[in-house]
Amino acid sequence: MYRLVYVCVTFSSNRSCQKPFCGDVVSSPCYRSRREPRNPTRPPCRDDRREQVVALMRRSQERLCAAFEQQEDALRTAQPHMGQPGRFTGSAWERPGGGGGTPRVLTDGLVFERAGVNVSVVFGEQVPPSIWQTRPATRDKAFFATGISMVLHPRTPYVPAFHANFRYFEVGDDWWFGGGMDMTPTYGFDTDAIHFHRTLKDYCDQHGIVNYAELKRTCDEYFYIKHRHEMRGIGGIFFDMLHPTESEGWEQAYQFVEDGITAIQEAYLPIVERRRLMPYGDRERQWQLYRRGRYVEFNLVYDRGTIFGLQTQGDAEAILMSLPPLARWEYRYQPAPDSPEASTARYVQPMDWASMSDNTDTP
């Protein structure tokens, strides 16, 4: 997962930008490598493409933050004694090598103990090792990357944690999209898992350039905690290097990403609304903190986005915002057999949720 945060940059063929930067965000010079002079054979709309994706990321950040704040407001209305609903705040950061971003973070809310929605633009003259080590042909080439990334850590153990990111890369004359979304329940419910995966399948089925089963399998493999022999959660979809070869390939890939960001609310928020008022006690809270430890382990050991962000000198606070505010570890802990906690094991192994019958709602 690439944790990218947003700055709206205007691109120009001149040495310095002629148009103003968008909004009160980090100012950075136009993306143009000194090693890579303007190529007259390059598609004339390339800079427009960058701006189009950046604009999508910014719009999506505003819309999703508003949607998550509505969940806070709804719980405050249902439970007035709970206090004030959480609100997103943000600040801009600047990357020394080029670019920057604007993380938006909600802390200590009623529904979300921590939620972050980050968007960024980063660029430079040399692609970072996290890219060229898996794609040797990209080494020593200029790069441009922008994307949106979000992580939601709910307060109640019965609302699953959620992660999504969508991104766009250019390296030299090549380009690709990537991204996906996944869900991590503390206490699993078949109804929730089935709804989540069916929504993702319906979304993928509307686009001929992808296959849901392949994207799900890639997600199951990527979010696997090798040293624990389990997945981080129930998975979702994950894709990388999406570059359709058709003449309209860029537009097709862009539309797939745009629709994916739109699908976030349909896939996740009905589950939040279904679970946010379920009562819980210290036992459930302690299990939630224990399971959050798995989330921390994956993000710090395996997550590509964390590695990419740190290698590109991104803002450490924004990168590590994905971690839960609290977590715990207990030496060789095993839940009691046949307990609700023990049933979690079923939800951290690959399952064909989209094909299952949703006739149960018991953790």
**CA contacts within 13 A on the Cβ side of 155:** 19
Q: Is 145 helix (H, G, I), strand (E, B) or coil?
A: strand
Going by C-alpha positions, the residue among 100, 83, 104, 108 that lies closest to residue 31 is 100
Q: Is 183 helix (H, G, I), strand (E, B) or coil?
A: strand
**Structural contact between residues 113 and 159, judged by C-beta atoms closer than 8 angstroms:** no
Catalytic residue among 81, 153, 163, 197: 163
**Length in residues, the chain:** 363
CA 315 to chain centre: 16
163 carries an active-site annotation: yes
Alpha carbon distance 199, 268 (integer Å):
9
Task: Please give the angle made by the CA atoms of 167, 30 and 41, to the nearest 5 degrees.
Answer: 80
| List of E strands, the chain | 89-90, 93-94, 99-107, 112-124, 143-154, 161-171, 174-184, 224-225, 230-231, 235-242
Helices 46-78 & 249-275 angle (0-180, nearest 10): 10
Beta partners for residue 235, in sequence order:
183
The alpha carbons of the chain give a radius of gyration, in whole angstroms, of: 21
Helices 190-205 & 212-222 angle (0-180, nearest 10): 130
Segment (H or E) for 111: none
How does DSSP classify residue 73?
A: H
CA distances from 244 to 9, 13, 192, 218, 256 (A): 26, 27, 32, 18, 11
Q: Annotated catalytic sites, by residue?
A: 163
